[in-house]
Each structure stands twice: as structure tokens, then as C-alpha cells.
Structure 1
Amino acid sequence: MNSLTGTRALARLALRLDRVRLTVWVAGLAVLPMATAANYFKLYPTEEDLRAVSGVLTNPSLVALSGPLFDVSIGGLTAWKIGVTEFILVGLMSLLTVVRHTRTEEETGRLELIRATVIGRHAPLTAALLVTVLANLAIAVLSALGLLATGLPVVGSVAFGLATGLVGILFAAIAAAAAQLTESARAASGIAGAVLGGTYLLRAVGDTGPTWLSWLSPTGWALHLRPYADERWWVALLFAGFAAVFAAVGYALAGRRDVGAGLLPERPGPAEASPALRSPLALAWRLHRGLLLGWTVGLALTGAVMGGAAVGIGNLESPNQQLTDILSRLGGRSGLTDAFLAAIFGVTGMVAAAYTVQATLRLRQEESSGRVEALLATRVGRLRWAASHLAFALLGTALLLAVAGIGGGLVYGAQVHDVGGQVGRLLGAALVQLPAAWVLAGLGIALIGLAPRLSTLTWAALIVSVLLLELGALFGLSQWVVDLTPFAHVPKLPGAAFTVTPLLWLTVIAAALGVAGLAGLRRRDMPVA
């Protein structure tokens, strides 16, 4: 038996398990570029319209947000608008898929059972990479065909599809290496996710400052492949080379560790537990602290970078209606700088909501792993256990938004010589996103309590919210459809009038969902596989 024996069977199993999840990912990511291009054909039907909008899109603040515009055409505008979003989403899909079929299988013990059959040592990793690569190839091909169907040039469409697929394949390889480092699937996803977030920040800084920083980011490479603008095909070699390196590292590390173990050693605990661990809240802090710390650092850096980028939006010599329209789609109408900041903190709110979902679903993870049974065998009740985790989901999100607002306020305030005033304004702009994020926490606990097998749909709700809010106006969707996301009801601060009513309604909805979920959790059987 060689190390790849059983790869085909494991790949078929992975495809069967992910048949719905991957289908949604592939279909959604393939349709986004095509729909964006089709709507741009309607929005900018003449060359004059394109020239009018192209000048403002070179503003440093917009470049930090979406990257540089390399060509004044429908294709170039499509690549500018949807490119970064597409690359981040395909990277996220890839890393989650690889970790799910490697480290998660080990953590739950299922892989050990499978390895008791005729399965080679490297077969699970190979199957996970194979399935993820196939999904990325499907996205690349379908994206290119969709762009071609709108009437865009063949070469540029192929380049955009290639860039999308290569980003996904590279992050699949990065996740393959990260999955070997730690015993926890959550930590492995966190490592790969931190790399993904770091690539966005490097690109944002590099595209508006030292150019070489953008070349340290795979997201930057994808943009610099320049679809529809004198394509640089040699950039694809960067993806191929680094993907091969990370995949080789993943295979080498997989061959050096035991099943279920990680390369990073787990620190042995003390012989006796600290008195501070006598409560469920203390145990929840122990479980959540690493995740919360990582997210806090990331959101603080994001707020600082975007706060610094906001200064450039006010330097436009002749703002026009096209720029106002673009910023209005992102959020806010009162002044270009305020509109940009409102857009930034609207996105930051949805990013922080990813932590909210992750922390909330920790309840389900503890249940499915079997660890909660030992805890509930003591005097700890279900509601007390659930409340300990929800405290970090709710208050942790508030902390993340606060540090993002403070970081943005400090950097932006220093540049406009008004630190005291801007910290308060941007802190408020960040914290108004909190009730919308809490709605997702309420949805998560409702699904865990009432339909635990569907709890991962909380992630789907977040992704749909992002797409509706960011692309709903561009796609010409009715306002009632966009209003389905809780983030559509958040006041667009700074600049817009502050109204407390929608925030109260969002809080009430979150509370109602949470109460329903806790009631279901209290009554249903545990655990549910």
C-alpha cells in the first residue's frame, strides 16, 4: 500500500458530503462577475460615461478599498469592482474546505476510524486538495464563460477566471500547511484566515503606498494579472510556485506527525485546575480567548489602515455624480469623506459579524465533539453553559467594533488634527453595527436550539447579507430584498442622522431569536450528531 491509496474513495466521499455546500459556493462565485458586468453595461452605455467615472476611481481611498483601475472599459471596471471581493471569497471557500476534510475529520475522530481501513497516509490531504482544486477550476471556467456571455473580450475573461481560480488553489495549499500545525480545526482555520486577511491589508497599503507591499499579497498578484488590461500571464507562475511550496510543506509536515496531533506542541496544563476555572464562564474564556485576541488585533489594524485611507477621499478636485453614486451604494450620503467612512465601517461591521457567528457556533462544536456531556453531568445547567459562550459572542463583538473605531479615529484624527473629535465619531460609527451583528448571533442560537443540524446556515446568512448590501444596488434588486439583511437598517454614520429606532428593533429581533433558541436547547436531546 502506498501513501495515496484510497484517495479516490475519500474524494468521492468529500464531494458527497459537500455536494450542497460546494454547489452554492461555485454557483454564487461564478455568477457574481457576470451579473456585475451585465449591470455595468446598463449603467455606463457610452464611452463618455466610462471616462467620467474612471477619473474618480483612481482616488487613493477607493484604490485602497478595491484596488487600482487598470483599464477604462466595462471589463476593467468589472474587474475593479468585483475582483477583490471575488478573490477573498474564493480564498475563504478553499481554506474552509481543506480544513474541514483534514483537521476537522481528525479532531472529531472520524479520520482515525477511516485510517483503520486501507487508506494511505497522504490520501486524506490529497483528497481534500483534489476536491478544492476541482471546485476552483469550476469557478474559473464558469466565471470566464459568464463574462464572455455578457459580451466582454475573450482574453480578459479568461484572465479573470484564471486569477480567481489561482487565488483559491493557493489558499487551499496554505490551508493544507496550516492544518498540520495545530490539533484544532478552529485554530487551523484561524491561521489560514489570518493569512487571508493579511493579504488584503498588504494589498490595500501597497496599492496606495509602497508598491512592493502589494507584490507580497496573493490578492495583489491577482489584480496585477490585469484582466482586460494588457494581461500579465507570467503572474500565474507566482501562484503556481507558491502553491507548490505550501502543498509540499503540508505533505512533509503530515508525514512527520501522529494522527490527531499537530506540529505545534500543546502546552501541558497544571496538575490541579485553577480556582478561576470553577465556573462555565471561566471555561468559556479559556476556549475563546485566543480567537478573540486574534480578531481584536486584526480589527484594530483594519480600522487604522482604513482610517488612514479616508483622508484621500476628500482630495478630489471636482467630485461628480458618478462618485457620489458609487459611495451611496456603499453607504452614506452626507459628504464624500463621511460617506467613505460609513462604507468602511459598514464593511467592518460585517467582518466583525464573522467573529460573532464563529463564537456562537462554538456551542454546537462543543456539543458535537461530546465535551459538553461531561460538563452538563455536573451541576451546570444548559442555559448557564450556553450563556457563558454567548457572552463572548455578544460582548466580544462589541470589543472588536470598539477597537476598529478607536483605531480608525486615532489615525484619521491625527491626519486631520482632530483626534479627540474623530475618535468619538468613528467609535459611534463602528458601534452602531453591533445590533445587526447580534441578529446573526440570535439566528445562530435559534438554529442550535431548534434545528442543530442546520446551524451552519448562520454562515450562509452572513454571506447573503454581504452580497445583498454590497451588490444589491448594483444588481438593481428591489429595496425590500436588500432590507432582508439586518445591516441595511443600521444608520450610516458618520454623516447621516442617528436614529435609535432601527437599532432597538434589531436588538429585539436578536433577543427573540436567542430566547427561542435557548428554549429549544433546554428541551431537546443532547447531543445531536
Structure 2
Amino acid sequence: MTALTGTGALLRLALRLDRVRLPVWVLIIGTLPAVTAAQYQELYPTKESLDQVSGVISNPSLVAINGPLFAGGSIGALTAWKVLVTEVILVGLMAILTVIRHSRVEEETGRLELLRAGVLGRHAPLTAALLAAGSAGVAAGTIAALGLIGARQPAAGSLALGAAVAFTGLLFAAVAGVAAQLTESARSATAIGTAVLGGAYLLRAVGDAGPTWVSWLSPIGWALRLRPYAGERWWTLGLVTVLALACVAVAFVLAGRRDLGAGLLPQRPGPARAEPALRSPFALAWRLHRGLLIGWVIGMAVWGGVLGGSAKGIGDATLDNERITDLLSRLGGAGALVDAYLGAVLGITGLVVAAYTVQATLRLRGEETAGRLEPLLATRTRRVRWALSHLAFAVFGTALLLAVAGAGAGLAYGAQVGDVGGQTAALLGAALVQAPAAWVLAGIGAALFGLAPRLAGGITWAALVLCLLVLEIGEILGLSQWIIDVSPFAHVPKLPGADFTVAPLLWLTVAAAALAAAGLAAFRRRDVG
């Protein structure tokens, strides 16, 4: 028996378990570029209209969000600018979740130990997880390339965009493979992988808005600098390949040096008796959530500063095309261009923070599947009180992160325009109005935790991805308003610049509370496990 014995069987099992989840990911990622290109052909039918929008996109503020437009004047280049960052983030997230699910989750739940009792090599589980995630990334990149060619875009640029998606998926699958060896918890491994993904995006944003060399520190920056439809640089794929192979090698070495179910990061033994400050469900929840929350706070402070610091340049843009002006206003708010930009980026910030909201909410299910909930409930701790202690971090932690991002943006922008106090207050409020929409996702997760716990993780994350897609391409594709309204973020006032209305925020809050209440009521009556 070799270290890879049984890899094929585990790969088939992984693909069977993900027979619905992975195809949905692949179809969304693979078809998005072609759909966007087809719509752009209708929006910008002439060379003049393409040149006008290319001039707007070259503004540093928009470059910070989506990256640089390396060559204007073509539908392909415009499509690559619009979707490539979104594509690599989605494929990276898909790869991370897939690898963790079929490696660390299998260990944490004890299923892998049962499989290892048979004929199964030591490295077979990790290899199968990497192959499942990598094949899904390659499939998504292939569909993207073929779709763009079918949309009458140049073959070289289409293949380059597809390759950027596929190779980025392979890279973040390898990153997740390393993360799965470091910690005993699947949730912590996922947090490590998504932190690397978020850090790569942030480095790319800082580099594209400022010193260009910083972008070369980010794998997402490498993907953009493959330059689809703008004189392709195929050699950048070599950078991705080398880093991916290095991560795979590290993952296999680490896997060979740890025990089954253990992680390489040391787990500190706790005291024999809990301190008085730790003798309540909320205190325990704080101990469990604090690392994730502190990391997000630091990230949001940097994120807000970058976005706010990029805002002043948007006012220098000139828009001669009324359709472009209308599109930007619909995407980001009303009024001045700066307000439209700030409204757009704060809307994106709301979705970014919603990822924390989902993570914090799904900690409920994580504690249950890890077997830590049942002993806790054997004490005087009541179910609803325990669940509320975790949901408190999903609710108030979300508000805290939005406040940090809004304050950071306000301080950075206010310092540039000489109005720190006014801009900080305005952008703090503009960020906080995103909270009720994110709370709806917490409500969905809580409802599923009580009613259908096995579906909680997949459906809650899918809801977040749906909200992202509606924000990213809903208006551009001219989707019906009722489809756009499915996203709770579509009902948030686009501050600053738009009129502030309380009613949508109240309804979103009521919806979130009703969903959470339904989940808690069901949780009181169902079996644990």
C-alpha cells in the first residue's frame, strides 16, 4: 500500500457528496464572463462609447476596487476589468471551502478515522480534496474561456481569462491544503484560508491604487497582470504554478508530521477550573469568537482607510456619456460622483462584512458537530441562551466591523478634503445602514440551524454569493427588479447621496429577527447532533 492508495475512491466520494454544490459554483463562475460580455456589447456598441467608459474606469478610485484597465477600447478588456477580480475571489472561496470540507471536516467529525481503518493511504484524503477543488476550478475556467469565445471575443484573451480563473483556483486549493494541516478546527482552517484570500485582495487594491509593486505581492494581482485582451503575459501563470506547487509540497510534508485529527499549531491546555469571568455562555462565546473578530476589525480598519483614501480622485472624472452616468448612479447612489463612489464601495463593504456575519452564525453548527454542545447542555445552560450568546457576535460584531470600516473611510477621506468630523460621521452612518441586510443572512443561518441544520452552511453561504452576484451584475444585465429585490442589500439606502429612509431598515431587522426566532424555536425541540 502506498501513501496515495484509495485516492480515486475518495475523489469519487467527494464528487458525489458535492454533486449539487460544485456544479452550481462552476456554472456561476464559468458563465459570468460571457453574460457580462454579451451585455456590454449592447451597452457600448460603438468605439466612441467604449473610449468614454474606458476613461472613467482609469480613475484611481475605481482601479482600487476592480483593478486597472490595461487596454481600453474593446469589449473583452472591459469585461476582464469588470469580472476578473470577482471571478478569482469566487473560485478561491470555492476551492478553500471544498478542500477544508473534504479534509479537515472529515477528520473533525471522525469519519476519516473510520475510513482510515480500511485500505487507505496517509495522503489520499488530502490528495482527493485537492483534486476535487482543482478540477472544479479548471472546469470553471474552461467554461469561462469557451463562453467568451462563443461571445465573439478574441481567443487568446478568452483563454487567458479562463486560465487566470483556473490557476487561481488551483493556488487557493493548495493554500487551503496547508491551512487544513495547521489547526484542529475546520472553522479555524477556513478562517485562515479566507484571511489569505482577503489579504491578497487587499494587497492588490493597495498596489493598484498606489505603489504598483505591492500588487506583485498578491496572487490576485498576478491574475490581473496576465492581462487578458491587452497583450497577454502568459509567464505570470508560472508565478502562480510555482507558489501552488510549493504550497502543495508544504501541505504534504505537514500532513506527514501530525497525528490524525490533530493540528500543527499547538493547542494550549486550559486551566483546571474556569475563571469567574468565563462561567457564562456569553463569556465562552467571547472566548471562541474573539480571535476571528479581532482579525476582522484590523482588516476592516485597513480596508476603510484604503477606500476612503481613494475617494477624492473620483471627483476628477468627467462623464460625457449619460448612460454611464446613470449606470454609476444606479450602482452606487445619487448625487455627486464622490457620493456615488462612496455609496458603491460601502455597499461592497456590507457584503464583505456579511462574510463575517455568516461565519459567526455558523459557529452554532460548528460547536454542535464538533461534539462540544452536548456536554455543555448537560449543565444548567439553556439552549436558547447558549444560541443567543453566539448570535450576539453575529449581530453586534457585524455592526462593529461596519463602524470601523466607515470610520476609517471617513477619517481618510475627511483628512483629504479638510472635514474629518463631518465626513467621519457621514460615512459611519452610511456604513452602519448595511447592518440590517447582513443581519438577514444571520437570520437565515439561525433559521436553518434550527430547522435543517445539515443545510445551514451550504445555503447560508449560497445566499451570500447570490447577494454578491446581484450587486455585481444585476444592474448591468438589466435584471428584473423583483430578482434584484431578493437580495436584502438591494433595500439599503445608498448613503451618502441618497435620501435616508428608515422603513426598509426596520423591515430588514424584523425579517432577521423573525428568521432567528423561528430557528431558535425549532432548536429547542430538535435533537442535538
1-structure distance, mates of 2:371, 2:263: 21
1-structure distance, mates of 2:228, 2:209: 20
Q: CA deviation at 1:460?
A: 0.9
2:475 is aligned, of 473, 479, 484, to: 473
2:349 is aligned with 1:332? no
2:173 is aligned with 1:172? yes
Cross-structure match for 2:484? 482
2:4 is aligned with 1:4? yes
1-structure distance, mates of 2:170, 2:146: 19
Instruction: List runs of 5+ in structure 1 lacking aligned partners.
Output: none
Q: CA deviation at 1:333?
A: 1.6
2:317 is aligned with 1:316? yes
2-structure distance, mates of 1:315, 1:76: 23
Cross-structure match for 1:182? 183
Q: CA deviation at 1:329?
A: 4.1
The percentage of counterpart residues that share the same residue type is 67
Q: CA deviation at 1:319?
A: 6.0
1:462 is aligned, of 461, 464, 468, to: 464
Q: CA deviation at 1:320?
A: 4.7
Residues 177-186 or 338-347, more deviating: 177-186
- Partner amino acid for 1:10? L
Q: CA deviation at 1:9?
A: 0.8
Cross-structure match for 1:285? 286
2-structure distance, mates of 1:517, 1:341: 35
Cross-structure match for 1:415? 416
Q: CA deviation at 1:53?
A: 1.1
Cross-structure match for 1:198? 199
1-structure distance, mates of 2:155, 2:197: 29
Counterpart secondary structure, 1:525: coil
Cross-structure match for 1:69? 69
TM-score, with structure 2 as normaliser: 0.98
1-structure distance, mates of 2:204, 2:330: 23
The aligned length equals: 527
2-structure distance, mates of 1:321, 1:111: 59
Residues 175-184 or 428-437, more deviating: 175-184
1-structure distance, mates of 2:440, 2:312: 32
Are the counterparts in 2 of residues 56 and 319 from structure 1 also a CA contact under 8 Å? Answer: no
Q: CA deviation at 1:208?
A: 2.0
Are the counterparts in 2 of residues 53 and 322 from structure 1 also a CA contact under 8 Å? Answer: no
2-structure distance, mates of 1:484, 1:148: 31
Cross-structure match for 1:28? 28
- Partner amino acid for 1:483? D
2:526 is aligned with 1:524? yes
Q: CA deviation at 1:316?
A: 2.1
Cross-structure match for 2:362? 361
After TM superposition, the structure 1 = structure 2 runs for residues 510-521 of structure 1, keeping only pairs within 5 Å, are: 510-521=512-523
Residues 465-474 or 334-343, more deviating: 465-474
2:50 is aligned with 1:45? no
Cross-structure match for 1:492? 494
Q: Cα 1:34–1:317, aligned 2, differ >3 Å: closer, same or farther?
A: closer
1-structure distance, mates of 2:516, 2:139: 38
After TM superposition, the structure 1 = structure 2 runs for residues 166-315 of structure 1, keeping only pairs within 5 Å, are: 166-315=167-316
After superposition, give the CA deviation of every residue in 1:472-494 in whole Å (9 maximum; x if it has no partner): 11111011110111100100101
Are the counterparts in 1 of residues 442 and 512 from structure 2 also a CA contact under 8 Å? Answer: yes
1-structure distance, mates of 2:475, 2:318: 27
Cross-structure match for 1:78? 79
Q: CA deviation at 1:514?
A: 1.3
2-structure distance, mates of 1:272, 1:525: 29
1-structure distance, mates of 2:160, 2:472: 24
Cross-structure match for 1:373? 374
Are the counterparts in 2 of residues 52 and 322 from structure 1 also a CA contact under 8 Å? Answer: no
Are the counterparts in 1 of residues 300 and 401 from structure 2 also a CA contact under 8 Å? Answer: yes
Are the counterparts in 1 of residues 329 and 335 from structure 2 also a CA contact under 8 Å? Answer: no
2-structure distance, mates of 1:166, 1:82: 16
Are the counterparts in 1 of residues 414 and 420 from structure 2 also a CA contact under 8 Å? Answer: yes
After superposition, give the CA deviation of every residue in 1:287-308 in whole Å (9 maximum; x if it has no partner): 1111111111111111111111
- Partner amino acid for 2:462? A
Residues 518-527 or 227-236, more deviating: 518-527
2-structure distance, mates of 1:197, 1:156: 26
- Partner amino acid for 1:93? M
2-structure distance, mates of 1:162, 1:197: 21
After superposition, give the CA deviation of every residue in 1:429-488 in whole Å (9 maximum; x if it has no partner): 110001111111111111111222221211111111111122111111011110111100
Cross-structure match for 2:150? 149
Counterpart secondary structure, 2:121: coil
2-structure distance, mates of 1:318, 1:174: 42
2-structure distance, mates of 1:471, 1:328: 14
- Partner amino acid for 2:75? I
Counterpart secondary structure, 1:85: helix
- Partner amino acid for 2:101? R
1-structure distance, mates of 2:22, 2:169: 13
Q: CA deviation at 1:257?
A: 1.0
Counterpart secondary structure, 1:19: coil
Are the counterparts in 1 of residues 49 and 321 from structure 2 also a CA contact under 8 Å? Answer: no
Q: CA deviation at 1:141?
A: 0.9
- Partner amino acid for 2:416? Q
1-structure distance, mates of 2:84, 2:390: 36
Are the counterparts in 1 of residues 52 and 319 from structure 2 also a CA contact under 8 Å? Answer: no
Q: CA deviation at 1:525?
A: 2.1
Are the counterparts in 1 of residues 407 and 427 from structure 2 also a CA contact under 8 Å? Answer: yes
After superposition, give the CA deviation of every residue in 1:169-227 in whole Å (9 maximum; x if it has no partner): 11111111111111111111111111111111111111121111111111111111011
- Partner amino acid for 2:41? F
Q: CA deviation at 1:523?
A: 1.6
2-structure distance, mates of 1:121, 1:426: 52
TM-score, with structure 1 as normaliser: 0.98
2-structure distance, mates of 1:125, 1:458: 26
2-structure distance, mates of 1:319, 1:418: 29
Q: Cα 1:318–1:52, aligned 2, differ >3 Å: closer, same or farther?
A: closer
Cross-structure match for 1:117? 118
Q: CA deviation at 1:325?
A: 3.3
Are the counterparts in 1 of residues 32 and 83 from structure 2 also a CA contact under 8 Å? Answer: yes
2-structure distance, mates of 1:317, 1:370: 59
Q: CA deviation at 1:61?
A: 0.4
- Partner amino acid for 1:139? A
Q: CA deviation at 1:73?
A: 0.2
Counterpart secondary structure, 2:196: helix
2-structure distance, mates of 1:153, 1:320: 26
Counterpart secondary structure, 1:55: helix
